[in-house]
Every structure is written in C-alpha cells, then in structure tokens.
C-alpha cells in the first residue's frame, strides 16, 4: 500500500466519522489529513500497528464494510483510527476557533505562599481538637 493509498483510505474513513453539521465543519474542510496522519503516527508510535491495520481494512474492503468489520473484529484498530481522526480534527485551528479554545493557559503558582485553606479558618476545628492517632 502506497502513501497515497493510505491517505485516500484515511480521508474516506475520516469523512464518514466526522461529517459537517449545522455548526461544525467536516474534517476534510479544516484539516490536512495527510499531515495529520503523519503527526498522529509519529506522536503515538504505540498505535501505529493498529492504525495501519485499520487503514488496510478500509483500503481493501471500502469504508462501509470496514466500519462494520473493525467494530466487530478489531476494536483496537477501530479505536486507534477514531482517536487519530478526533485528534486531527480538534487540533485544527478553525475547529479550535469555533470552540473558543485559545490553547494552554499559563497559571502561575507561588510554592512559598500560604494556601488559602490554612488562613480562612477551615482548619480551626482540627487545630483545636489536636492530633488523633492510635498505634497500629
């Protein structure tokens, strides 16, 4: 199977998995599926075998037959293909813009600051009670 065959098979499956809706675009309209698949395979080498096995079934049997076959007989390949398609879709900038996702946010943390739960009185009853322990 050539790279072009892999790309066509995955594009056909992805189009069935993530079609356009009233509010969201189809995966093929917002993502470069060839680049996305390369990224998915490089990012998750542990799933490479499952993804390639599933794409082989899609290439051999066609999308509709492959969906039925993979769901019934090869759940790990089916799950890996679904994960790849979803990750490619939700990392596409147009989809992130629609969802209002701005990316990871930096949150600062002062390790030397006294936590609020220590100063707001939440632990006063525990302090008044004192330690409770028994020999084990």
Residue 25 pLDDT grade (very low, low, confident, very high; cuts 50, 70, 90): very high
Average pLDDT over residues 22-50: 93
* 50 is a domain residue: yes
What pLDDT was estimated at residue 23? 95
* 121 is a domain residue: no
* 122 is a domain residue: no
Which domain does 32 fall in, by range?
A: 3-104
SS (H, E, C) 2-24: CHHHHHHHHHHHHHHHCCCCCCC
Burial of 36 (0-12, 13-18, 19+ CB in 10 A): buried
Residue 11 has which token pair?
């594009």
The whole-model pTM stands at 0.75
Helix (H) or strand (E) holding 41: helix 33-43
Place of tokens 């996305």: 36
Place of tokens 């525990």: 126
* 38 is a domain residue: yes
Total domains present in the chain: 1
Mapping DSSP to helix (H, G, I), strand (E, B) and coil, where does residue 59 land? helix
* 115 is a domain residue: no
* 131 is a domain residue: no
* 57 is a domain residue: yes
* 33 is a domain residue: yes
């Amino acid at each position: 199977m050539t790279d072009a065959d892999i790309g066509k098979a995955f594009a056909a499956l992805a189009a069935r998995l993530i079609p356009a809706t009233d509010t969201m675009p189809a995966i093929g309209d917002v993502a470069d599926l060839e680049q996305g698949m390369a990224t998915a395979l490089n990012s998750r080498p542990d799933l490479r075998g499952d993804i390639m096995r599933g794409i082989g079934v899609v290439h051999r049997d066609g999308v509709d037959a492959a969906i039925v076959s993979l769901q019934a007989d090869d759940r790990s390949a089916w799950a890996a293909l679904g994960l790849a398609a979803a990750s490619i879709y939700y990392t596409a900038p147009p989809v992130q813009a629609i969802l209002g996702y701005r990316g990871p946010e930096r949150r600062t943390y002062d390790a030397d600051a006294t936590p609020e739960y220590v100063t707001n009185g939440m632990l006063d009853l525990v302090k008044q009670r004192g330690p409770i322990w028994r020999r084990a």
